[in-house]
Structure formats: C-alpha cells, structure tokens
A and B are shown apart, each in its own frame.
Chain A
C-alpha cells in the first residue's frame, strides 16, 4: 500500500517535474550550470535507478537533499511533523471528548441540547475550518486578545504560552470533527439505548446513568471511533490551512512553500510521512475497536 502510493507519487512527480535545474537556477543559468546541477541531483540517471536510490533512503526514512533549501528534507520535516502531530492529536482528543458528551446528552435529553448539536453539526460540516479560524482569530485574538493570533510556543518552554498559542488552532480544527462525531454518537446512543439488554440490565437493579455510561456508551463507541479515524485524516489536510493562518511552523507552511517552489524531494517526504501517519492511526483505531467489540476481536 505504502509502496504503491510512493511509486505512483514518485512516478507522477518526476515525469511532471520537467526541467528542474532551470526551475531552481532561474532563466539566466548557463547550460554548464544546469548540467552540473543535474549531475549533482542525480537527475541524469535513468528513472528506475533514481527511484531505487530514493527508495533505499526512504525505507530508512531518509528523504534526501532538498532542491531548494540548504537543509536536508529530514532536518526540516521531522521537527515540523512533531508540531503538527501535537496539534492534530490534541484536537482529536478534544473533539472526541466534546463530541461524546454532546452526542450523549442530545440522544438522552433531546430538546434544546439536541437542537444545538444539530446546529453545530450543520455549521461544522458545511463551513470550511479555515473560515472558522478567521472568525476565532478576529474575535479571540484581535477584538478580545485572550489568545495568541500567531506563532507556536513549545510546551517545554512555557506551558501557559503553549496553551495560549494552541487553543485557537485546536478549536478551529476541532469544530468539523466535533460536528460529525457528535452526530454519530447521538445516533448510536439513541439506537443502543433502545436495545433489549438495556431494559434487562435495568431490571436487575442498575440505575439509568450506570447503564448509559457503562453499557450504552461502550456499545456506541465503535461506530464513533471509525468516524473519528476518518476525521483525523481530514484534520491532517485542515492543519495545512490552519497552521498557515496561525503562522505555526508545522508541516503546513512547509508543504505550501515546497509546492510553490516545486521542491519534489520535500513533497515526496511529506506525502510518504502523511501516508505513514494515516496508516498508523488506522491501525490504532482498529486495535481500539477490537478492544471495544469482542466480535471484532475474535474474527
């Protein structure tokens, strides 16, 4: 799977890249300069040889030299990956908690909370996350300056500044995930609550709350978890925009600049690392669903 993605991406990117040396050196470059750079970047070798060379590095997670920056791809990519993963992971946790609470309350109490969940569901699903980010920046960083509008502070440097720098990006990213996961939780909780075993457990003397929080939520968890997994993939894309807006030095701005400058090794590194993250996350989700659902565990 990962191999297929890499090969396809490599093939398309290199075929399409055209005359890289001229792109990098500009129009004034002499033919000598161009052939020298081609030699240096290994671009005059046959395609398969280039790919195998790249692959032998990539399997060790070494994505080689950047075409446009003095640092290697790895030197830029991995510190930024950490920042992006922090934001996305935190958003996933926040979104999961908020969505479970909202969805459960909506399913059980209906009425006002239910209408709020429906409304958040519509807005979160329809409105792109970066518009939410604009709204939040304008309101909570400029009009009422509670949080930071730009920049990212490492947690190790200052936990309070870290919180101020990460709150708005996380909120902007979380909304759409909250929207869809809460809808899913609402649906599966209202299904589970009408199951026969709920009545039987209550007939044995368990209180309503105990049955809901122990038995119903456990059974409603599986479908919500797979939606959360889908949302996580979406968040990796959304993070590109949100990081750009909040000037956070994660993968987003790197992806934008590499794209703008056609830095193919950097783009390849980004694609492979993203695919890797998605694969790992899907694996984690599968393991968690297995832990929740004994039927999956056995098969």
Chain B
C-alpha cells in the first residue's frame, strides 16, 4: 500500500516538475483566478451599455477596450470566464458521475446492466453531440445550465468505456480474487483496489472532456442559443463576429482565452499520460545486444578465433566477410557494438553454418550482409565483399538490385514474414516482375511451378489464399519458394525451422537440402541448433557474444571441438535437443 502511495505522489510531483506540466496547470489556475477575482475588483458592469465609448481601444480605464455596446471587455471577459468554466464543470461532473459509476457497476458485476449500458453507450456515440444538444435545446429553451447537464450525459460514455474496460481487466486479477476470498465486500474492493487503478486515466480523460465541454459551450453560445443576458465566451464571440470588419481585434480576447485554456488542458493531459507511461518498465533493448558486464569486458580483450584446418576448400569466395563490426547508437552519442571483428567466407555451392545461442549476434551478422539492419544499426567497421563488390559502402539503390536476384533470405517466423493484406501469389509474383523483369503471366506461371516444387498441395488455389489461411509449415514453404524465386547465388536462412513443429522441421530441412543441391546455390545457415548444422553444413562458424570463437569443417568441429562454448553447445544437443540426421554422439567430447 505504501508503495502505491509513493508511486502516486511520484506522479503528481513529476507532473509538477515537468515544464509542460507546471506551465499548463499554472495557466489554467491563472484563468480561474482571473475569472473569479477580477469581477470583484472591477468598477464596470459586464452588461451595462455605454453609448459614448462604443468600440473603444484599450486604455487605462478599459484594459482590453470596449465592445459594440460600449461594455468593458476586460470585465465582461472575466464574468464570461466564470460562467463558461462553471457550466463546463457541470458537464464534466455529470459525465464523471454517470460514466464512472456506470462503468464500475457494468464492469464489476456484468449481467443485464452491462448489456443495457453498452447499448446506450453505442447509441450516444453514434450521433454528433452538437446536433443532439441542439435538438434538446429546442425543448428546454435557452438555458446553458440545462444544456451542459445534458451534454454531461452525452459525454459520459468517454468515462464509461474507460472505467468499464479497466475494471474488466482488473476484476479477475489474483489480488482482487484474494481480496474477495478474504471476505472484503464488493464495495470495499471497488473502492480500494479498482479505483486506484483507474484514477490516473480518469484525470487524463477529465482534462480532455473539459476541453470538449468548453468548446461546445462556447459554440452554442456563439450560435446565439444561450441565455442572452449572461456574459459568456461564446456570446462575446458572437458580438465580436458581427464587428469583424470594423473591429477585428475584438475577436482576439475571447478566442485567445478559449484557445489557451483548451490547449493547456490537452497539454496537461498529455503530460500526465507521458509521466504515467514513464512509470512502467522502460525496456528498449535491441535484439541481439548482450549488454552484460562480461561482454563489456570481452569488448576490451580481443578473443582469437580457433581456426580448424580446411584442406581442399576453394579459396575463391562468393562472399567474404572480414573484420565486420555492427553497432547501434547507444543514446548518448556513442556506438554500442553488438558484433565484433567477424570473419567468415561462403564459397559458391557451399552450405555454411553460423551457430550460436540467441543474442550471440548471428542474426545481426546476417542482416548486415543483407544490408537490412534494424533502424539505427550499421556496419561500423570491416568489409563484406560479395562477388568482388564491396557491400558495406554500396548505395541503397545498388543494394536493391543485389537483394532478391543475387542474395535472398529465408526468415525464422513464417507467419509474420508474409504481408497479411496481400495474397500469397501476389507476394511471389511482385518481386519476380521487378527483379527478373517477367510479365505478370510469366511470373504467375513460375510462381505456380515454384509452389509445386516446394511441396504445396494445391498451388493454384494457394496462390489466391491469404497468409492467415495457410499453416505455418506451408507458409515457410512459400517463403522458401520466394527466396529461390529469383535464382539467387546466395541464400541466407535465419533459423528456417525453429518456429515449426518437429515433424515439419525435418521435411523443410529435406526440401532446403534438395533445392540447394539442384541449383548449387550457396547457403548461409543461421541457427542455434547443432542438429540442423550437422544435417546440412559443410563448414561452420560458432558465434558467442558477437564474436566467432571457433570455425572449420563440420566433421572436424564435431569430433574435435576446442572452445569450451562449442563443447557446451554440443553437449546440449545430446541432452535435450531433438537429435537429427544420422549423427551419433561425437567421440572425445565430454
């Protein structure tokens, strides 16, 4: 309980310390003081006309000048402020009372009250408030108090929905259950546990509702539907608007006051919301960045890679990454490196594994090769030579020509990697038309052939389906078809089977292996699973904390892993992970 109180005090204090917080509160308070104090001090009557000083400019007697009837604008504005704020407050109070009580009852107890009040709410929300209000005023006549009371009812859904949804969310929480079990009455549970949760959102909503009430109140008064004898912001606007050609300055005072108050209310609401969100956990870590202390230490000390001899490996590389470092802005003007000094090579037709646990930097390395690092990330050092071309310094336009046709990508999570709004067919056809320059018909035919090849049962029908209509395994096959569709030289596959069921995993790996053999495409396989590596790869690179710690031919590493991290990865596959392929426990390892 004391924690809660502290958090609440913290919020109030933080809002007051925030420049937009204290200035908006200060402005609202100043306007209130003006509205309620100035009439007591002024020698003028807000309604008494004075034919000798019509439309006078500001002077020592009339601070803001006089209006078309010679009334003192300063005094009239003060009385108006008082009246407008009071009537707007009435609307807010009524909306609060109905909305909060209704929302609590409907949310906490449910039942018929829930159904009826939700239905009423949707009716109230369906019509423009001003039109309903005008209709009501046709009956009740020109009384602003009555109109704003009705407007309060019209505004109540704003609170109702807020409280209702919060209460629905909270009422099944464990601590509410606990309170119920321990014998607290519903009334006390609502008062203690539930109101506490909705208090801050209600404050935000109140500021916004108040600004709407002020806008509507002034609008109706401006239309001349209010009480003619009471000074109000809207009535002053109406009067000033008639003189817009003779004395446009008259509009300034009431409009500025209204605008300042409404803007201050909205800024106040935004400030409270921002401060409230700041209370929550602030997690904005970049995926793949192990920010631990150990890693910082590792940054300092250069860790050498253990290279295993690879006799007979061609020296003509398709892609060669050397001394690559990937970094993100750390928010203080510096760069946070997540990949350090990475060297790896893939030759034509080879399958090369990049293995490590999540956060080791393997996916970051893959994205760097694709030139598609998340916002802010970039290759800060080193080079990536692809088929004789330096990619690190390549322009965005040039890179667009390399991706798809030369280097392509198979992602990890099949569902989120298909655009939900387009058919599977159109997502396959579009790149082929651009990259290969095919006509729509040619691309369609090729897409159907590809879907057949990757084992989709009814390719013509699947072309017309949307991603949510196919299974995860099928979606992954579609993505593989997409990756090979433009005949690339290198495919980067990022955990291509991790998100799939075990049985489907085996099929997808078979498919990948067959496709790779058929087309002799080079494959860079990013994975955390040694089983997958064993199945497919010729060479592997083991990555830990953004570095490659061990690299070499796959058999050699399996039989003779030297780095403790590689050994522990191998151990983990023997203990828990699903064993794959024909490999038995490597000897000399344990």
> Which residues of A are at the interface with B, using a C-beta cutoff of 8 A?
1, 4-5, 8-9, 12-13, 16-17, 122-123, 125-128, 130-131, 134-135, 137-138, 142-143, 194-197, 199-208, 210, 215, 218-219, 233-234, 236-238, 240-241, 244-245, 255-256, 258-260, 262-264, 267-268, 270-271, 274-275, 278-279, 282, 292-295
Interface residues of B in 414-435 (CB under 8 A from A): 416-422, 427, 430-431, 434-435
Residues from chain B with a CB closer than 8 A to the CB of A237 are: 128-131
Q: Which of B47-55, B110-118, B134-142, B546-554 contacts A (4 or more CB under 8 A)?
A: B134-142
A61→B223 CA distance, assembly (Å): 28
A-B CB contact pairs (8 Å), 10 listed = A8-B123, A126-B267, A128-B215, A128-B218, A199-B409, A204-B485, A204-B486, A207-B400, A259-B137, A282-B126
A226→B370 CA distance, assembly (Å): 37
Partner of A205, one of B142, B374, B400, B421: B400
Given A122-B267, A205-B400, decide whether A196 and B411 contact each other with a Cβ distance below 8 A.
Answer: yes
> Is there a chain A Cβ closer than 8 Å to B196's Cβ?
no
Residues from chain B with a CB closer than 8 A to the CB of A279 are: 126
Chain B residue at minimal CB-CB distance from A278 = B126
Q: Contact check, A201 vs B419: say whether CB atoms are below 8 A apart.
A: yes
Chain A residue at minimal CB-CB distance from B134 = A259
Given A138-B251, A202-B403, A204-B404, decide whether A127 and B131 contact each other with a Cβ distance below 8 A.
Answer: no
A274→B485 CA distance, assembly (Å): 53
Q: Contact check, A240 vs B258: say whether CB atoms are below 8 A apart.
A: no
A292→B421 CA distance, assembly (Å): 7
A238→B212 CA distance, assembly (Å): 12
> Is there a chain A Cβ closer than 8 Å to B262's Cβ?
yes
> Is there a chain A Cβ closer than 8 Å to B241's Cβ?
yes
Residues from chain A with a CB closer than 8 A to the CB of B68 are: none
Q: Contact check, B430 vs A206: say whether CB atoms are below 8 A apart.
A: yes
Partner of B138, one of A125, A194, A196, A258: A258
Q: Contact check, B370 vs A203: say whether CB atoms are below 8 A apart.
A: yes
- Closest CB-CB distance, A212 to chain B, in whole Å? 12
Residues from chain A with a CB closer than 8 A to the CB of B411 are: 196, 199-200
> Which residues of B are at the interface with A, using a C-beta cutoff of 8 A?
123, 126-132, 134-142, 211, 214-215, 218-219, 222-225, 237, 241, 244-245, 248, 251, 255, 258-259, 262-263, 265-267, 270, 367, 370, 372, 374-375, 396-397, 400-401, 403-405, 407-409, 411, 413, 416-422, 427, 430-431, 434-435, 466, 468, 479, 482-483, 485-486
Given A127-B263, A240-B130, A274-B128, decide whether A200 and B417 contact each other with a Cβ distance below 8 A.
Answer: yes
Given A200-B409, A200-B479, A236-B128, decide whether A267 and B135 contact each other with a Cβ distance below 8 A.
Answer: yes
Residues from chain A with a CB closer than 8 A to the CB of B417 are: 196-197, 199-200
Q: Contact check, B131 vs A236: say whether CB atoms are below 8 A apart.
A: yes
Residues from chain A with a CB closer than 8 A to the CB of B245 are: 142
Residues from chain B with a CB closer than 8 A to the CB of A142 are: 244-245, 248
Residues from chain A with a CB closer than 8 A to the CB of B262 are: 126-128
Partner of A197, one of B132, B214, B259, B416: B416
- Closest CB-CB distance, A268 to chain B, in whole Å? 8
Q: Contact check, B421 vs A293: say whether CB atoms are below 8 A apart.
A: yes
Given A13-B138, A16-B139, A215-B421, decide whether A204 and B408 contact each other with a Cβ distance below 8 A.
Answer: yes
Q: Contact check, A131 vs B135: say whether CB atoms are below 8 A apart.
A: no
Q: Contact check, A208 vs B266: say whether CB atoms are below 8 A apart.
A: no
A270→B225 CA distance, assembly (Å): 17
Q: Contact check, A275 vs B419: say whether CB atoms are below 8 A apart.
A: no
A2→B430 CA distance, assembly (Å): 46
Residues from chain B with a CB closer than 8 A to the CB of A275 are: 126-127
Q: Contact check, A128 vs B258: say whether CB atoms are below 8 A apart.
A: yes
Residues from chain B with a CB closer than 8 A to the CB of A128 are: 214-215, 218-219, 258, 262
Residues from chain B with a CB closer than 8 A to the CB of A238 are: 130
Residues from chain B with a CB closer than 8 A to the CB of A197 are: 416-420
Q: Contact check, A215 vs B265: say whether CB atoms are below 8 A apart.
A: no
Residues from chain A with a CB closer than 8 A to the CB of B404 are: 203-206
- Closest CB-CB distance, A130 to chain B, in whole Å? 6
Chain A residue at minimal CB-CB distance from B435 = A205
Partner of A5, one of B123, B267, B367: B123
Residues from chain A with a CB closer than 8 A to the CB of B218 are: 128, 130
Q: Contact check, A205 vs B225: say whether CB atoms are below 8 A apart.
A: no
Residues from chain A with a CB closer than 8 A to the CB of B225 are: 256, 259-260
- Closest CB-CB distance, B587 to chain A, in whole Å? 40
